Amino acid sequence: MTAPARVLVVDDSPTMRGLITAVLNADPDVTVIGQAGDAMEARNAIKQLDPDVVTLDIEMPNMNGLEFLDKIMKLRPMPVIMVSTLTHRGAEASLMALEIGAFDCVGKPQPGEVRPFSDLAEKVKAAARSQRRLRTDPPPIAPVAVHASPSTYRPGRKIIAIGASTGGVEALITVLQKFPVNCPPTVITQHMPSTFTKSFADRLNRLCAPVVQEATDGARLEIGKIYLAPGGERHLQVANPHAPCCRLVDRDPVNGHRPSVDVLFDSVAELAGRNAVGAILTGMGRDGAAGLLKMRHAGARTIGQNEKTCVVYGMPRVAFELGAVEHQFPLSSIGEEILKITAAIEKEANNVSR
């Protein structure tokens, strides 16, 4: 029998510490072994208790959560789940935390919320199980090298579809920084709160050569553009074979998620078939596995992130076991592999058209 995940709760609010502790202790596979109100208390508690996982408030006195997280990742790497306000400022800080090395982020409850921190225990258990190779000194993000090789795009010819969840922020930055300024139209579903996706799209747009934007209903799929599904109430699909575009559709959650990777992949399979490339990256659960299998059955080329480089080898594992993944690659090479495949698709299409 696996021992419960041992957690240290760090938050300057006694009320919030009490709430997080109560939620986590309600799960028999999680045990809160200590609490701390600031970075100094947390530092001492980590030394004394050696927790499996730390939950860390972003906004704290003396030393904020980001500064303390950076020290943890450099001096004593361990899984850290950040607790953030669901505001624009909180979203920006959360994205920075994920890049520094946080396992995941959860939002503080809103007034009247019925089940606060409903997914926190599952994330804590995944963090405790994770095989993440935490870096002692995360490398800075390198400047973007803009690729000049030209490409052409015809309606329905090449579409790239990517799905990710836990660990996806870092993974997507790594993959998309390899894309040229004239990359094929790319659609992405990343599980994250609605207040985070606009900030994440803006951050990707600053870091990557192509234009990255939050997807809007009816937006035309164009060369050199990457469309990120907005979090919240609708799913992202692609539609219209004559003038491919984004569609945001009202549907119940799929696999517990909205937007769902499966919904996106299903639509790409139907619209583009063999002219698509699908990639499933790190994440908890199984969302995207069935959709990627549908893409492969439709003739699309499919890629999965390998276990060694995943923060959580959940979604890619299920996809691989279903037979949805043609090849698994380490995260560092997935961007190049996607580009190789799209170039091969283009070459094949040109040969057929002659």
Q: What is the pLDDT of residues 338-347, one digit of tens each?
A: 999 998 887 7
What is residue 137's predicted lDDT score, i.e. its pLDDT?
A: 38
When the pLDDT of each residue in the chain is averaged and rounded to a whole number, the result is 89
Q: Is the pLDDT of residue 352 over 80?
A: no
Q: What is the pLDDT of residues 63-77, one digit of tens each?
A: 899 999 999 999 999
Q: What is the mean pLDDT of residues 34-60?
A: 95
Distances (CA, A) of 230 to 95, 150, 295: 15, 30, 22
Give the strand order in the sheet containing 5-10. 30-36, 5-10, 53-57, 80-84, 104-107
Q: What is the mean pLDDT of residues 222-244?
A: 94
Burial label for 112, CB within 10 Å (0-12, 13-18, 19+), is: exposed
Q: Would the pTM of this model clear 0.75, i.e. be above it?
A: yes
> Which H or E run contains 214?
strand 211-214
| Candidate from 74-83, 259-268, 345-354 with smallest mean pLDDT | 345-354
- Cα(325)–Cα(284) distance, rounded to whole angstroms? 17
Please identify every residue annotated as catalytic. 165, 191, 287
What is residue 54's predicted lDDT score, i.e. its pLDDT?
A: 97
Distances (CA, A) of 55 to 129, 210, 316: 15, 35, 26
Q: What is the pLDDT of residues 190-221, one digit of tens each?
A: 998 888 899 999 999 999 999 999 999 999 99
